[in-house]
């Protein structure tokens, strides 16, 4: 019985699975594509905007320029970006003419629970942490701008502006690791949301909750901010569980 060595047999309860998870999600090229795509899909760089120059972006992403260029080339071929040469050139995000919802495989129940749990922890925590800070005027404006943009978004842009708003809340915490974690969990969430329809009543409801959350943050009320975010997140969770199970 190979699983009963003297040193085994102790409850590792998933901690070792978490620690001995893959060191890298894919090769450098794939991860670079994913990261740039993430920035586009989360609305951090919008249509018409320019990505950092290849040289700068390669340094920031910690990959060689060659690898970054290959990633950009495949994004070009997929219609996500366009490059222009010459001074004041660069790589620009294209208008999202692509429709045809990229129907991924339905997530497993474990994956769903995992994402929803992590999301609840991160986003309610971020809302509370943001409300605990005294925000700079610029940060307050940014938050409000994201809220307004999301509320006024047509259906086909809603996912992006919604993501951008949630990211803005994380940004208000001024904790880079938390921002990155929220961005990552949001990306996983969006992949799941792509598998279910976007219903107008849900949008209405979301917008009202967004307003509550942002107001609580701007008012510096962490308790309300957390509770409002918890309700908001629970709504999405119920929606997803309803459609995917």
Partner DNA sequence: GTTCAAAGGATCCCATTCAGACCTTTGAGG
Partner DNA sequence: CCTCAAAGGTCTGAATGGGATCCTTTGAAC
Q: Which of residues 79-118 bind DNA (CB under 7 A)?
A: 83-91
CA–CA separation, 37 and 22 (whole Å): 21
Indicate whether 64 belongs to the interface with DNA (CB under 7 A).
Answer: yes
Candidate ranges 23-31, 184-192, 202-210, 234-242; the one touching DNA (CB under 7 A): 23-31
91 binds, among DNA, a copy of itself, none (CB under 5 to 8 A by kind): DNA
User: For DNA, which is the closer residue by CB, 92 or 120?
Assistant: 92
User: For a copy of itself, which is the closer residue by CB, 114 or 221?
Assistant: 114
Indicate whether 229 belongs to the interface with a copy of itself (CB under 8 A).
Answer: no
User: For a copy of itself, which is the closer residue by CB, 179 or 228?
Assistant: 179
- 53: closest CA among 84, 24, 25, 99? 84
Indicate whether 13 belongs to the interface with a copy of itself (CB under 8 A).
Answer: yes
177 binds, among a copy of itself, DNA, none (CB under 5 to 8 A by kind): a copy of itself
Q: Which of 21, 85, 101, 245 binds a copy of itself (CB under 8 A)?
A: 21
Distances (CA, A) of 225 to 67, 138, 180: 42, 20, 20
Q: Which of 7, 27, 138, 177 binds DNA (CB under 7 A)?
A: 27
- 214: closest CA among 180, 167, 181? 167
Our CA angle for 85, 90, 92, nearest 5°, is 120
């Amino acid at each position: 019985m190979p699983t009963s060595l003297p040193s085994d047999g102790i409850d590792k309860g998933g901690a070792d699975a978490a620690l001995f998870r893959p060191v890298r999600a894919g090769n450098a090229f794939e991860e670079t594509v994913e990261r740039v795509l993430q920035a586009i899909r989360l609305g951090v760089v919008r249509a018409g905007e320019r990505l950092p120059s290849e040289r700068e972006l390669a340094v920031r992403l910690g990959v060689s320029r060659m690898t970054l260029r290959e990633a950009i080339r495949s994004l070009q071929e997929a219609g996500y970006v366009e490059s222009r040469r010459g001074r004041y050139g660069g790589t620009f995000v294209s208008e999202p003419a692509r429709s045809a919802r990229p129907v991924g495989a339905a997530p497993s129940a474990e994956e769903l629970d995992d994402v929803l749990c992590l999301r609840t922890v991160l986003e309610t925590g971020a809302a509370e942490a943001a409300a605990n800070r005294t925000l700079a005027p610029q940060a307050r404006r940014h938050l409000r701008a994201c809220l307004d943009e999301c509320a006024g978004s047509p259906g086909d842009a809603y996912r992006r502006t919604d993501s951008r708003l949630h990211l803005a809340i994380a940004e208000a915490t001024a904790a880079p690791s938390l921002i990155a974690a929220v961005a990552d969990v949001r990306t996983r969430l969006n992949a799941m949301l792509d598998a279910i329809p976007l219903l107008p009543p849900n949008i209405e409801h979301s917008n009202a909750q967004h307003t509550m959350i942002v107001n609580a943050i701007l008012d510096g009320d962490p308790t309300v901010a957390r509770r409002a975010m918890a309700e908001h997140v629970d709504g999405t969770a119920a929606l997803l569980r309803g459609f995917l199970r």
